Amino acid sequence: MDLSTTYMGFELPHPLIPGASPLVDDLDTVRRLEDAGAPMIIMHSLFEEQIVGEQLAVVRSMEVGDESYPEALSYLPRPPDFALGPDAYLSQIARIKSVVSVPVIGSLNGVTDGGWLAYAKLIEQAGADGLELNIYELATDLEEPGEQVERRALQVAQTVKQSVSIPVAVKLSPFYSSIANLCKKLDDLSVDALVLFNRFYQPDIDVEQLEVVRIQLSTSSELSLRLRWLAILSGRIRASLAVTGGVHTAVDAIKAVMAGAHGVQMVSALLEAGPAYLKKVREDMARWLEEHEYQSLRQMQGSMSLSRCANPKAYERANYLKILQSWES
Amino acid sequence: MKPPCRITLDGNEAVASVAHRTNEVIALYPITPASPIGEWCDEWTAHGRHNIWGHLPEVIEMQSEAGAIGAVHGALQAGSLTTTFTASQGLLLMIPNMYKIAGELTCFCMHVATRTVATHALSIFCDHSDVMACRQTGFALFCASSVQEAHDFACIGQAATLQGRVPFLHFFDGFRTSHEVTKIEELTDDDLRSLLNDQLIVAHRRRGLSPDHPVLRGTAQNPDAFFQAREAGNSYYDTLPEIVQQVMDRFAGQTGRHYQLFDYVGDPQAERVLVLMGSAAETAHETVEHLNRCGEKVGVLKIRLYRPFSIKDFIAVLPSTTRAIAVLDRTKEPGAVGEPLYLDVVAALREASAQGNSHLLQEPRVIGGRYGLSSKELTPAMLKAVFDELAKPQLKNHFTLGIVDDITHTSLPFDPEFTIEADDVIRAVFFGLGSDGTVGANKNSIKIIGEETPAHVQGYFVYDSKKSGARTISHLRFGPRPIRSQYLIRSAHFVACHQFQFLEKLDVLEYARPDAVFLLNAPYSAAEVWDHLPRDAQEQILAKKLRFYVIDAQSVARDMGLGGRINTIMQTCFFAVSGVLPREDAITHIKKAIEKSYAKKGQEVVQRNFAAVDHTLTHLYEVQVPERVSAAFERAPLVADAAPDFVKRVTAVLMAGKGDLLPVSAFPVDGTWPTATSRWEKRGIATEVPIWDPGVCIQCNKCAMVCPHAAIRTKVYEPDHLQGAPSHFQSTDYKAADFKGWKYTIQVAPQDCTGCNLCVMVCPAKDKSAPRHKAINMAPLAPLLEEEKNNYDFFLGIPDPPRDRVSHIDVKSSQFFLPLFEYSGACAGCGETPYIKLLTQLFGDRLLIANATGCSSIYGGNLPATPYTVDKDGRGPAWSNSLFEDNAEFGLGMRLSIDNLSRQAQQLLQRLAPQIGDDLVKEILEADQSSEAGIAAQRRRIAALREKLRTIDATIANQLEQVTDHLVTKSVWLVGGDGWAYDIGFGGLDHVLSMRHKLNVLVLDTEVYSNTGGQASKSTPLGAAAKFAASGKAVHKKDLGLMAMSYGHVYVASVAFGAKDSHTVKAFLEAESFDGPALIIAYSHCIAHGYDLRFGAEQQKLAVNSGIWPLYRFDPRRIHRGEPPLVIDAPAGRNTVEEYRRNEARFAMVEKIDPVRFRQLARAAQDQALQRVALYEQLANITVPQAAAHDPAPNDDAPK
């Protein structure tokens, strides 16, 4: 079965891509992902906070207690050179490049138009074949209008796009006042792909300790939100589309492709079941397509999008009404 | 000759630069003030920097100075060029080997940053008592008086020892030279190569031991041979002065810098001459030049080569006109005819005269004096007093200089107003906090001025002895000539006060000369600041017509995201208003320096500092000084009026930084010092303090348990005691049954708290409606200060609950016992002091502490204030520090002595039983003192006994009266860090543990030499970066506990209060109850671990839960009960070792140096933790056969 697809300008044998995650920290795991058929490797995100915070933390922790006490003018040795976390990240790109033959995509995560964006260029220089820019913003400021939030996102994307020549994918959250418009504007900036959607760390509450804790992994139930927006955008913008969040099975992936995804990113499922699970999903997907007599993946790509599906209203407001009505009934 | 390369650095780095380039093996042990020399060498080797022959010198840290010199001796014997660095006690530990090295005529040049040898007290500062103790070893003693000379003499010493075969001890003054930053001409590799003769190096190698041409050294000799053999090397000493001069001459040819064995400076026709060596010779040099300009016929003779002492060369440089000589010794030899240099000069003059070898026109009168012990200041005014004395008809001999001796009247008076500071030398004084980066910024400024302008520079930095809230005073000089002034600035063109609160404690402006610039960092605008100055500051600003600038640097730093680091901002201000450099040039240079310092660590830091520089100038204002004083308040007295007389007369003067003014009579004669004085210090260094919310509190007392400074306390008391409470004093009903119906309070000591946050972090009680709010919460101190001061005073006045009413001692009840260790100078968030505080709470009224040198001896015993204190009956810990290496033996001695006196008391009691009454005697002798109630009962019996003894008229009754205290049990604890227990004192500790005497050892294990700045010890864990293990320690931490367990009769516990405080309390109680040696190894988080210590307890939990720090108790008593002696008290594996390691810079920085190695070490650390846990779990299941329990080994060493 021909599962090939084009994502970010890369011709891929199939759309199932391990998404940005800690899986790539270990070279053995990276090899296992490639063995399982991963068509590209996306690095875990280098966070703006990590870039800025680590620099400050290094200085603070190295200088703590310095020049305060006559017997100890310092407390830690002075290393000749520093490999900051971001530097280690860049080295890891090079290491991964050396052990795999598939494209390696760097990932930057942040929201402000600041010095950390210089790492886009550094990631390119480190050998990355593409860059995923994860604009991960929770707009919690009661005073800031949505327009300003969107303008900032566009500015970050523009800065990155202008600073590198490798393909750039932009990963978004669903919480913008007009996602379709924002995606259009990003498309106008010539970004190469849109990734829908990043998952904010999901909070939970520990009622014993009275602490907020995180839920780490996604479930298939998170897919429907992404299907909706894939379907809305599919065929209406130039950039390729990827889904991330909620794909756990071959059927999940098929739904995403039908909604318009060129790439299907998986993280939680691989973290739970291991890299080899990717191969199983691919095989299941191929089998499903064969059983349903598709000739290729491309044949069904976008088939259930807003512009091509049988009942487009289901993605829009009418869908809302229907659900409400079903509740009433 | 090439133009010299000028560099700006301190004396230690200047020496290290030569030593590292001219040696192959470097074996050492850290000791202040020489530690940085070794650290530089270690760093350079770690960074791959080669010596002049293209090899990487091997740098090795040993377990003690005795170990270091042993390794040096071996390396020399095997033919390598070898060196070491040390000072003070460390040098003394090397002496036995130095005799050997010299006796074997070994080419060796060691470097000593001179430091006072501990006598009545330890001092880290400078005098020559250490070097003078080495006169008899046979080493050449070679003295440098400045940073340039220390750099040069390191080379000359190495060259001369190769040629002359006599080993060299090259020395220079600790701190004054070792830590002074100045500009020098650097010796190039070519310079060094040209002076170190390859043939001589080959000869040194050939003398090395080799089985290919075997010889034997180190024979034992009999009366028939030893003496002659000892004399056989005489000619080497006879020729050495000439060799040294030859090397000096070659050196001059290479570098243009000329030295002689004895350098004379002054009037060629001088009549009065000073003789001295070390940094003070530089002050004498400039004083003489000044006096010569004033027409005085005076001179100074600087000694370079002190041993062998060349009479010929010494006499030759003295002007023939010399009529009177004063010899200044920087040491004291009690009971001698005079100090060593004085005796040498007297003998030299006499011998030269007797042999007719003197060109002097008359026999000079010679007097000797002592100066500069422990870095006491020596100023031109004092030296002028000596010259004035030499002009008198009757000379005062054996005088002292720089102090007022009102007891034996040795001191020479001097005119403190006399000064010779030149107007073209700009002088600047900066007051800062250690934590605000003032010293670092000033070092940076000196480098900028030194390296970017032709000016000569000098920076000297005075630190106090506190580890939290430490005050620094920087003294900077810039001038057109080399700066020889080796004394503190008293009259500055520029005074900066980087912390506003200093104005309320110190006379900062006494340093300002008329028309000086005063820069103040204040939280006030230029318009407001005047009204916030104390009266004396306003008076001085007006009287001296100071130009006054103000900046709110904290706000600028905060706005720029720099936290509390105001260094860059204040540095910019200095350049902006001092006029030392054109403003724009200065800013360019500052930015260059920022780039250099931080570029490797990230552009964000660079950008923030750049922004701070740019914002500074827009926030810096000149204050329009009003015409008259308007202050409504004076600088407050440093101690309360209620303080004891001694504290007011002596301690407060030391606190004010005016100790130099105290006369000899103010001081105890034998180093005995009162305890309970830190309570008067009231440093007020916290900006936020914990405030209690009784409504949320669950009364667990964990906050008090973790407080490193005993600054948050809990009390339970009868309701009546609330009468007269201040209106804001908080109290609530006590919730538990043991003091039912009583009240309960948690109270902060607002001026003693350091604001470390540990208490808030461990507080488990959260407000159910707003869990962010706990039972204690940090709050800004300023608005609360007065009411909290009143609250704390009232709190202290409430009686503590009777100790004997506490039936069960646990974490909670232990915190109702009065801490007898309070408000020390330990770091904010210190992980050691909670253990010491607990120790004093549990056993303080019967406690003797033998304290190894280290952090705990500094915050425990460094003046001005002492943190050990007393209870309402005047009882409290008796504390002493002997040395670093001997603490176990020292503590054992205490135990032996106490047991002896206790036995005497028991015997006398038995003999007097008929008069005293059999019942009382029996009760005393058979008293159960294992509980607080038992001890209280025994104290009552002893009181009754004393009453009874008064009625008995017999010598024996009097004898018993003297020792009755020893009928109450005493608790002896040996306290020290891992440097002591694992390394330098391990032999002694092992010996003490091998015996059965009842004593307790508390190892405050920070896993690194904390006090000397983070050098690796054998306790440093695998993978941690430390000095001398910069790439991460490659071997596992020594398992001290397991070693002690192997004896079988030692109680051993491994504790971590932050992980399980109840376990800590239990271990302390068990150790104390154990009739034999007990060892507690206590995890102590430390500033050297590289993280915010507010998370100390969290890190302890992660360490324990990962298995890297197991909690256990090994109690030999369990063997007798048929149980396994070892009990594991916390399960491991609840988190990974990595989760623990990643939070601490000491581990994390290895990743930044070498990520691959980091991962390897991380895996090894995890494996090792699991293996160790597995081993312990197996041991915890071993039951020792009962037979062994019933038939203990003969106890030969136990008290008889």
CA separation for the pair B284, B288 (Å, rounded)? 6
At residue B3 the predicted structure's pLDDT band, cuts being 50, 70 and 90, is: confident
Give the position of tokens 């205490």.
Answer: B894
Nearest CA-CA distance, residue B1120 and chain A, Å? 43
pLDDT at A96: 93
Q: Which of B21, B115, B307, B1094 is catalytic?
A: B115
Residue B613, both tokens: 């520089």
- Has residue B141 got a pLDDT over 80? yes
The pTM for the full model equals: 0.92
pLDDT at A82: 61
Judged by CB atoms closer than 8 Å, whether chains meet at A71 and B766 is answered as no
pLDDT > 70 fraction of chain B, expressed in percent and rounded: 98
Nearest CA-CA distance, residue B1038 and chain A, Å? 21
**Residue A71 near residue B124 (C-beta atoms within 8 A):** yes
Q: Which chain A residues contact residue B1010 at CB under 8 A?
A: 72, 75
- Pinpoint the alpha helices (H) of B844-998: 855-861, 887-911, 913-916, 918-925, 932-950, 955-963, 978, 986-994
Active site residue B115: yes
**C-alpha radius of gyration, chain A, whole number:** 22
Q: Does B605 touch chain A (CB under 8 A)?
A: yes
Mean pLDDT value across residues B654-674: 95
* Residue of B41, B1087, B1143 to mutate when probing chain A, most A C-beta within 10 A: B1087
Residue among A64, A84, A91 whose CB faces B1090 most closely: A64
Q: Which chain B residues contact residue A210 at CB under 8 A?
A: 766, 768, 771
Chain A residue with the nearest C-alpha to that of B859: A69
At residue A209 the predicted structure's pLDDT band, cuts being 50, 70 and 90, is: confident
CA separation for the pair B1148, B1 (Å, rounded)? 47
At residue A57 the predicted structure's pLDDT band, cuts being 50, 70 and 90, is: confident
Residue among A72, A118, A210 whose CB faces B1014 most closely: A72
- Has residue B1004 got a pLDDT over 90? yes
Mean pLDDT, chain B, whole residue set? 95
At residue B1186 the predicted structure's pLDDT band, cuts being 50, 70 and 90, is: low
Judged by CB atoms closer than 8 Å, whether chains meet at A55 and B1091 is answered as no
Tens digits of residue pLDDT in B989-998: 999 999 999 9
Residue among B438, B470, B1155 whose CB faces A91 most closely: B1155
Tens digits of residue pLDDT in B291-316: 999 999 999 999 999 999 999 999 99
The torsion angles phi and psi of A306, rounded to 5 degrees, stand at: -55, -40
Q: Which of B39, B65, B339, B1007 is catalytic?
A: B65
- Has residue B605 got a pLDDT over 90? no
Please give the torsion angle defined by the CA atoms of residues B6, B11, B14 and B16, in that order, rounded to the nearest 10 degrees: -170
pLDDT at A309: 77
Nearest CA-CA distance, residue B771 and chain A, Å? 6
Nearest CA-CA distance, residue B1011 and chain A, Å? 6
CA separation for the pair B204, B1068 (Å, rounded)? 56
Residue among A58, A68, A73 whose CB faces B435 most closely: A68
Q: What single DSSP character describes residue B979?
A: I
pLDDT at A326: 45
Mean pLDDT value across residues B951-977: 96
Assign A84 to helix, strand or coil: coil
- Has residue A322 got a pLDDT over 50? no
Tens digits of residue pLDDT in B899-956: 999 999 999 999 999 999 999 999 999 999 999 999 999 999 999 999 999 999 889 9
Mean pLDDT value across residues B424-448: 94
- Has residue B91 got a pLDDT over 90? yes
**Sign, Cα dihedral of B1071, B1042, B984, B1083:** negative
pLDDT at A277: 96
- Has residue B492 got a pLDDT over 90? yes
Q: Which of B45, B887, B1011, B1064 is catalytic?
A: B1011
At residue A118 the predicted structure's pLDDT band, cuts being 50, 70 and 90, is: confident
Range from B61-70, B210-219, B220-229, B1180-1189 carrying the lowest mean pLDDT? B1180-1189
Tens digits of residue pLDDT in B395-418: 999 999 999 999 999 999 999 999
Q: Residue B273's closest CA among B295, B288, B293, B289?
A: B288
- Has residue A318 got a pLDDT over 60? no
- Has residue A321 got a pLDDT over 60? no
Q: Which residues pair with A195 in a beta bridge?
A: A171, A242
Mean pLDDT value across residues B1145-1165: 87
Nearest CA-CA distance, residue B42 and chain A, Å? 9
pLDDT at B1196: 47
CA separation for the pair A277, A249 (Å, rounded)? 9
Nearest CA-CA distance, residue A292 and chain B, Å? 48
CA separation for the pair B738, B730 (Å, rounded)? 21
pLDDT at A212: 81
The torsion angles phi and psi of B113, rounded to 5 degrees, stand at: -90, 105
CA separation for the pair B1016, B607 (Å, rounded)? 34
- Has residue A328 got a pLDDT over 50? no
ipTM, two decimals, is 0.92
Instruction: Give the A:B interface size as CB pairs under 8 Å.
Output: 158
pLDDT at B1: 61
CA angle B137, B141, B144 (to 5 degrees): 155
* Residue of A46, A69, A87 to mutate when probing chain B, most B C-beta within 10 A: A69
Judged by CB atoms closer than 8 Å, whether chains meet at B1090 and A210 is answered as no
pLDDT at A81: 65
- 3-state SS, one letter per residue, for B225-287: CHHHHHHCCHHHHHHHHHHHHHHHHHHHHHHCCCCCCEEEEECCCCCEEEEECCCHHHHHHHH
Active site residue B65: yes
For chain B positions 1126-1165, those within 8 Å of chain A (CB to CB) are 1145-1146, 1148-1149, 1151-1155
Q: Residue B478's closest CA among B489, B467, B468, B470?
A: B489
**Residue A183 near residue A237 (C-beta atoms within 8 A):** yes
pLDDT at A216: 66
Judged by CB atoms closer than 8 Å, whether chains meet at B439 and A67 is answered as yes
Mean pLDDT value across residues B1120-1137: 93
**C-alpha radius of gyration, chain B, whole number:** 32
Q: What single DSSP character describes residue B774?
A: B
pLDDT at B603: 72
Tens digits of residue pLDDT in B254-281: 999 999 999 999 999 999 999 999 999 9
At residue B2 the predicted structure's pLDDT band, cuts being 50, 70 and 90, is: low
Tens digits of residue pLDDT in B744-756: 999 999 999 999 9
